[in-house]
Amino acid sequence: MKVLKINPNRPEEKLLKLASHILKNDGLVVYPTDTLYGLGANALSKEAIKKVYKVKGRDFKNPLSISFYSIDHAKKYVHFNSTAMKLAKKFLPGPLTIVLPMKFNFPSQLTHGSGKVGIRIPDNKIILDLIKIAGFPITSTSANISGAIECSTAEQAANQIGKKVGLILDGGRCKIKKPSTVVEILDEKIIVLREGAIKTKTILKVGP
């Protein structure tokens, strides 16, 4: 296990390239976000996704979300309706996960065959730059064993799953220290699936 300090404001390119190399070879990388530390894998690789579930001890019936570096990047892979776009423009980058219909055929292990996937654009330069360098979306699930405490520091993540990943990028303590709020839009109506860093009443103010 490698734990490498990385500048959260100006992430060193050599460290991002190292992380990208691991991801391109179906390895796993722990990275900081605005909310919690995430467990990253190539979201287009069936083998890499299987490793995420194994490390977390997570049931395959529980889908994984994905991080993108921008709304335009996400639009290549998922469909946005008008309400989803309003939410995205207001809260992203930020602590919001939006469940959207897939445009791209992601591995079934990622989505449990639902035809939908949760998308994130974290407000954290390290992970956004890493996605750009890697050239593909990266899984966005908390870097902890399922059911255990969620990690807001690299040290916490290392203690739980450090021996099972290729690299941990230590960008300091996450600023929010809470999970993202998860929403889905059904017939233009916003359904809050999990209240997290953004309060439900704040989300619902956006409206259709």
Q: What are 112-138's pLDDT values in tens digits?
A: 889 999 999 999 999 999 999 999 999
All structural domains of the chain, each given as residue ranges with its CATH number in brackets, are 3-204 (3.90.870.10)
Model confidence, pTM: 0.96
In angstroms, rounded to a whole number, what is the distance separating the alpha carbons of residues 111 and 64?
7
Non-local (6+) Cβ contacts of 150 within 8 A are 36, 142, 144, 179
Closest CA to 92 of 53, 52, 120: 120
97-128 residues labelled b (16+ CB within 10 A) or e (exposed): bbbbebeeebbebbbeeeebbbbbbbbbbbbb
**Residue holding tokens 């939908």?**
116
pLDDT (tens digit, 9 = 90+) per residue, 58-70? Answer: 988 889 999 999 9
